[in-house]
Each structure stands twice: as C-alpha cells, then as structure tokens.
C-alpha cells in the first residue's frame, strides 16, 4: 500500500480508482467465463446477458479515464502516484477490450450452436479458456496484492496459451477437412479461439502495467511469440 498522504482524500481517490478497476476485473472475468459456458451449453439466454454486461465495462472505462484526468489535474501527482493513475487508465482499457472479446464470443453462440455440435469441438476451446481465465485471475490478484514475484509465471502461461491456440487451430482445420458441414461452426470457433488468445495477451499487458506501477521499471523485453498458426496450411501432414 502507498504511504499516507497529508491530504487524506487523495488516498481515498486512489483507493476509489483501484476499487473501480477491481469491479471492472470482476465483470471481465465473469463475462469471459459465462461466454464460454454459453457456447458450450448452447445457452442463448446467458449469451444475451453477457452482451448486456459489456455496457458496464464501457461506462466504467470512461469513468476511470475522466476521474484520472481530474486527479492528475488537481493533485499534480509524481512518481508512484502518477504511475498508479496512469496504470489504472491502461488497465481499464485492457479490461474493456477483454469485455469486448467476451461479448464477441457470446455473439457467436447462436451461430455455432445452430444444429447440435459434437462435444469434441468444444473440448479444446474449454481448456484454452481455462488457461486464459487462470491468467486473468492471477494477473488481477497480483494487482490486488502487489506481489510481483509471481509475475514470471504469467509470461510462461502466455506461451502455453499461444501453443494451445496453435494446436486448436490445427484441430479445427482437421474437422473442417473431414466434413464440410463443420465449416460454419468451426470458423466461428476459430474466431472464438483467437478471441481467447487475445484475452491472454491483454492479461499479459496488465501484468506488465502492474510491474511498472510497483517497481517503476518496465518488464524486460522478451516476449517470444509461440502463435504459429500463421504457418499452418490445410495440406495433410506427411
């Protein structure tokens, strides 16, 4: 926690910002989880709820942005306080994007589940979503506790997500080659998978922002790219 300021209300303002980030994080986590649930159980009602929830994130992001500007203007913060506020702006925009990606998955529910799809199409996606959700939760926990020792694992998991995405890409491609009737569902699922992979990237961005807030330094620049789906072609393997 920050050291106490002479003006008690400044602390309150910072605390308010952090609470708002927490609220956004809670919504984003739930939207992602529920969009996947809606997809797997072909639950159109739940999908609609996810789409409606996105409004909350949009509003909160705007609110955090406006408040931050007011705080900066009024208090002229420096050093860690300034990092805290700028960090809040950045994290809120990452969370808002995560909400959009969740919403996008939810919007595809109806298209994917028209005509019952076999469970095996979803199994990989569920596992991928599990990884991304764990990533998001861990990152937000790190923001809450400011304990950046665990931040290394976040990057490891990002690699895992990328590798899993590449594997899933290949699998869905196989299903499409097997039976053209799978093409509609699998194309939508490919976009869903990409969305989940992007969610992982945003979570990693947040980790980097938190690292900067806490230490004042940027995380070292080594972000190996494991997403090799751009190399995958539909030719049968030798």
CA distances for 75 relative to 18, 19, 67, 68, angstroms: 17, 19, 12, 10
Find the part of the chain contacting another protein (CB under 8 A) among 27-35, 103-111, 175-183, 200-208.
Answer: 27-35
Q: How far is residue 178's CA from residue 28's CA, in Å, rounded to a whole number?
A: 36
Residue 187, interface with another protein (CB under 8 A)?
A: no
Q: Whole-number minimum distance, CB 34 to another protein, in Å?
A: 10
Determine the size of the site formed for another protein (CB under 8 A).
34
Q: Which two tokens stand for residue 47?
A: 């999908």
Check if the beta carbon of residue 180 is closer than 8 Å to that of residue 89.
no
Q: Position of tokens 């996810």? A: 50
Q: Which is nearer to another protein, 171 or 184 (CB)?
A: 171
Q: Whole-number minimum distance, CB 124 to another protein, in Å?
A: 7
* Residue of 35, 104, 113, 166 interacting with another protein (CB under 8 A): 166
Find the part of the chain contacting another protein (CB under 8 A) among 17-25, 86-94, 198-206, 211-219.
Answer: 17-25
Check if the beta carbon of residue 136 is closer than 8 Å to that of residue 102.
no
Q: Whole-number minimum distance, CB 201 to another protein, in Å?
A: 16
Residue 26, interface with another protein (CB under 8 A)?
A: yes
Q: Which is nearer to another protein, 118 or 218 (CB)?
A: 118
Contacting residues for 194 by C-beta, under 8 A, at least 6 apart? 165
* Contact flags string 98-137 toward another protein, x per CB under 8 A: ---------------------x---xx--x--x--xx--x
Q: Whole-number minimum distance, CB 33 to another protein, in Å?
A: 5
13-18: list long-range contacts, CB under 8 Å, 24+ apart. Answer: 13/67, 13/71, 13/75, 14/71, 14/81, 14/84, 14/85, 16/67, 17/64, 17/67, 17/68, 17/71, 17/84, 17/85, 17/88, 18/88
Residue 87, interface with another protein (CB under 8 A)?
A: no
CA distances for 146 relative to 47, 139, 142, angstroms: 33, 10, 5
Name the DSSP class of 229. G
Q: Which is nearer to another protein, 73 or 149 (CB)?
A: 149
Q: Which is nearer to another protein, 166 or 195 (CB)?
A: 166
Q: How far is residue 36's CA from residue 86's CA, in Å, rounded to a whole number?
A: 31
* Residue of 42, 43, 93, 167 interacting with another protein (CB under 8 A): 167
Residues that bind another protein (CB under 8 A): 1, 15, 18-19, 21-23, 25-27, 29-30, 33, 119, 123-124, 127, 130, 133-134, 137, 140-141, 143-145, 156, 160, 163-164, 166-167, 170-171
């Amino acid at each position: 926690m920050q050291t106490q300021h002479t003006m008690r209300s400044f602390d309150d303002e910072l605390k308010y910002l952090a609470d708002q980030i927490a609220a956004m994080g809670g919504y984003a986590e739930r939207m992602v989880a529920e969009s996947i649930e809606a997809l797997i159980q072909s639950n159109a009602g739940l999908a609609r709820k996810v789409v409606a929830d996105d409004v909350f994130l949009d509003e909160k992001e705007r609110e955090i942005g406006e408040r931050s500007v007011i705080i900066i203007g009024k208090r002229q913060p420096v050093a860690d306080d300034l990092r805290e506020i700028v960090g809040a702006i950045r994290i809120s925009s990452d969370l808002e994007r995560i909400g959009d990606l969740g919403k996008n998955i939810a919007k595809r529910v109806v298209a994917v589940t028209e005509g019952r799809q076999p469970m095996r199409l979803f199994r990989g996606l569920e596992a991928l979503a599990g990884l991304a959700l764990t990533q998001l939760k861990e990152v937000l926990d790190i923001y809450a506790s400011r304990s950046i020792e665990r931040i290394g694992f976040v990057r490891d998991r990002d690699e895992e997500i990328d590798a899993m995405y590449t594997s899933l890409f290949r699998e869905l491609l196989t299903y499409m080659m097997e039976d053209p009737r799978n093409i509609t569902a699998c194309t939508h699922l490919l976009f869903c998978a990409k969305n989940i992979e992007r969610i992982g990237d945003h979570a990693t961005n947040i980790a980097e922002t938190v690292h900067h807030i806490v230490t004042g330094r940027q995380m070292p620049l080594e972000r190996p790219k494991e997403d090799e789906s751009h190399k995958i072609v539909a030719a049968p393997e030798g």
